[in-house]
Structure 1
Amino acid sequence: MNNIEYIENFFKESKQILDNIDKNDVEKFITILFDAWKNDSQIFIFGNGGSASTATHFAADLSKTAIVKGKKRFKGISLFDNVPLVSAWINDEGWENVYLGQLQNFFQKGDIAMAISVHGGSGEGNAGEWSQNLLKGLQYAKDNGGKALGMSGFDGGAMKKMADCCIVVPFDATPHVEAFHVVLHHMIVFRLKQMIKDE
């Protein structure tokens, strides 16, 4: 396969993904976030690896890009950005509690916990089961009067089953899933900005 063939194949697969993403899940996801804006709720976003960078990007866009002059603002917070705090939780309580511990500090009734993961908490590697720290964070939100949102890939994993709403990129390749999480988050943020303008 040469470069052009590879590129064409990637684009073809991307078109298939667009056709297969559940639009109703995306609409529900947007509605939950808009309700959070209306209710002044905090939105805590977290992930591992590349999904941690997507979580930070999503939080930044909610808190800055979605601003409409004269309107109140989103409270989007990435739980991966305070490196000393993250490293303290890992060192003292283990990686599986790094997001749960922070939510126990800051989460209030009505807030949102949003986890981003390629596999949605299913599968395992050398360190054991993947993304259990994300699932713990989502469960804490559900147990404490908040909502749990997810963005995942493959078959959605455990996250799809436990979240109040989970957008699944239905494809079995990490590059495609991570890329479409960013595409989706941009679409969601700019749709929310339109909705705030119209409010």
Structure 2
Amino acid sequence: MAQMVKDPRFENDVPDADSPGEYFAAYARELAKAAAKVSHENIQEAFDLLTQALKRNHRIYVAGNGGSCSIADHLCCDMMKGTHIHGKPALKVHSLTSAPALLTAL
């Protein structure tokens, strides 16, 4: 017999608020707390890796599973468009999950 697994959607912390404004304020506070925990060293390391990839004309591949597939595609878009500077070489970013027909062709 299969075991029951707790649905992860019910593990989310939802701000206790009486109005959309209170909800947003509580959400913003939690977001700020999470952002404060981000490692500055890890951000610098990621930046350095991306800079090296650009200088060496390397390609960057991203992928995701399930809903993370869409997040990977969005990251790919952001990295291509959001880092572009006119007259400078662009990052070469490819999503391995953006072509499901190719991905699933056997």
- From the superposition, tell whether residues 5 and 64 of structure 1 become closer, same or farther in structure 2 (CA, over 3 Å): closer
Structure 2 distance, partners of 1:53, 1:68, is 25
In structure 1, what is the Cα distance between the partners aligned to 2:78 and 2:22? 34
Instruction: Give 3-state SS (helix, strand or coil) of 1:51's partner.
Output: helix
Deviations 1:136-173 (A, max 9, x none): xxxxxxxxxxxxxxxxxxxxxxxxxxxxxxxxxxxxxx
**Residues 87 and 24 from structure 1, CA distance in 2 versus in 1: closer, same or farther, beyond 3 angstroms?**
same
Structure 2 residue matching 1:8: 3-state secondary structure: helix
CA distance in 2, matches of 1:40, 1:83: 27
* Aligned match of 1:25: 42
Calculate the aligned-residue CA RMSD, in Å: 1.8
Q: Distance in 1 between matches of 2:89 and 2:97?
A: 25
Tell me by how many angstroms 1:32 deviates.
0.3
Q: Which residue of 1 aligns with 2:104?
A: 87
Deviation at 1:58, TM superposition (A): 1.7
| 5+ long unaligned stretches in structure 2 | 1-15
Query: Does structure 1 residue 46 correspond to structure 2 residue 57?
Result: no
- Deviation per CA, 1:153-194, whole angstroms, max 9, x where unpaired? xxxxxxxxxxxxxxxxxxxxxxxxxxxxxxxxxxxxxxxxxx
Q: Amino acid of the residue matched to residue 27 of structure 1?
A: Q
For 1:60, which of 66, 70, 77 is the aligned residue? 77
Q: Secondary structure at the match of 1:47?
A: coil
Give the structure 1 partner of residue 23 of structure 2: 6
SS of residue paired to 1:81? coil
Runs (4 or more) in structure 1 with deviation over 4 Å come to none
| 5+ residue gaps, structure 1 | 93-199
Aligned pairs for 1:1-199 within 5 A: 1=16, 2-3=18-19, 4-88=21-105, 92=106
TM-score (norm 2): 0.72
User: Normalization by structure 1: what TM-score?
Assistant: 0.41
- The secondary structure found in structure 1 opposite 2:63 is strand
Question: One-letter code of the match for 1:21?
Answer: V
The structural deviation recorded for 1:8 is 2.4
- Tell me the distance in 2 between the aligned counterparts of 1:7 and 1:64: 29
| Percent identical | 27
- Count of aligned positions: 89
The letter for the 2-side match of 1:73 is A
Larger radius of gyration: 2
